[in-house]
Each structure stands twice: as C-alpha cells, then as structure tokens.
C-alpha cells in the first residue's frame, strides 16, 4: 500500500508539471491570437496577458524577423509555447519515473 501512495504522488506531481506547461502555452497562444486578430492593445485584459506572455517567451522574441509583425509574433511566441510543452513534458516524465 505504501508503494501505491508513492506512485500516486509522483503521478500527481507529473500532472501538475504538465498542467503548468499547458497553462504557459495557452497564455502564449492567447497572446498570439490577440495580436493577430487585432485586439485593442490599450485594453487592460490585453495588457495583463501581455505582461504574462512576454516573460514566459524567454529569449524567443526577436529570434525570427520576417518583416511582417504578425508572422514574427506567431513564430516567436508560438515557438515559446512549444518550448514550454516540450520542457514540461520532459520534466513530467522524469518526475514520474523517479
């Protein structure tokens, strides 16, 4: 029975880590959609999402410069979203194994 609880705890930790990655990726995706669809950048909700998305994008903004702002945002912040999904997925697997 002790082993079941330990495995359950690791499973819970890996689900939490995966969930955090999904939330981070969703923030990036929401920011991309707001930019591409032309959201009002003076809006408080836009500024809130931007204040979350920009730090989560890490070093990706400015990585690609195609000359089209919307494409740049899509590539750079989209890559950040994929990064968070991959990194947290790897961390979740490591936690669930050990």
Radius of gyration for the chain, computed over Cα atoms and rounded to the nearest angstrom: 17
| pLDDT (mean) for 7-19 | 83
Would you say residue 89 lies in a domain? yes
Would you say residue 14 lies in a domain? no
Q: What is the mean pLDDT of the chain?
A: 90
Would you say residue 79 lies in a domain? yes
Report the interhelical angle of 44-56 vs 2-36 (nearest 10°).
120
Would you say residue 22 lies in a domain? no
Count of domains for the chain: 1
Taking only the tens place, the pLDDT of each residue in 18-47 is 999 999 999 999 999 999 999 999 999 999
- Residue 68, domain extent: 28-97
Would you say residue 17 lies in a domain? no
Distance, in Å, from the CA atom of 11 to the CA atom of 38, rounded to the nearest integer, reads 40
Q: What's residue 97's pLDDT?
A: 84
Would you say residue 92 lies in a domain? yes
Would you say residue 18 lies in a domain? no
Would you say residue 21 lies in a domain? no
């Amino acid at each position: 029975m002790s082993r079941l609880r330990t495995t359950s705890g690791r499973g819970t930790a890996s689900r939490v880590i995966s969930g955090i990655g999904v939330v981070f990726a969703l923030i990036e995706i929401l920011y991309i959609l707001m930019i591409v669809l032309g959201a009002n950048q003076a809006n408080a909700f836009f500024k809130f999402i931007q204040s979350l998305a920009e730090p989560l994008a890490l070093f990706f903004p400015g990585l690609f410069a195609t000359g089209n702002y919307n494409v740049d945002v899509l590539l750079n912040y989209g890559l950040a979203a994929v990064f968070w999904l991959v990194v947290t997925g790897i961390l979740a697997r490591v936690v669930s194994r050990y």
